[in-house]
Structure 1
């Protein structure tokens, strides 16, 4: 094909109203629409972050369930937990709180 024929085909394609409409529609959907490429990218990163957060909380729930089971089944562990977390003591005991500086 010579250059003049290629040039005339290109001009015909650009002046075709259907091609122009398609190009405008394509660019609108691709860049400006609610579901554009950038929006999809943001959604994907948000989904990844939420998935990591979900895994963290599922692991935390599993650990807490194990801890609750342990506290319900063993009296000594329950007493140890109460002493450490809520600073409970027996009548004849004193509690000393040591705060470590970092």
Structure 2
């Protein structure tokens, strides 16, 4: 066989595989259900959910600390009830003072 023919056949085979691989990459990258754009949106959603998770874990820790303080100390419980729910003892008066917001 001629060396040029063998080289041409190998070159054509390599070109076929390269074209098929390129078409496959383009198809998966842009037209598939899991394309690059969708993957980017999924990653952004994951990041947002992780930030939200951290926020809620922080709130849980703060509320757990506050709850343990309220359960162990009656003075803290009374102060919390007065400030949050405007509770009062018999014969007391409550005055609410609202501050102006300077916008």
Aligned twin of 2:30: 31
TM-score for both structures, normalised by structure 2 = 0.77
Is 1:46 the equivalent of 2:48? no
| Equivalent residue pairs, number | 93
- Structure 1: segments with no counterpart, 5+ residues: 1-7
Which 4+ stretches in 1 moved above 2 angstroms?
Answer: 18-25
Aligned twin of 2:55: 56
Aligned twin of 1:100: 99
Q: What is the RMSD computed on CA atoms of the aligned residues?
A: 2.4
Whole-Å separation in 2 of the counterparts to 1:28 and 1:101: 60
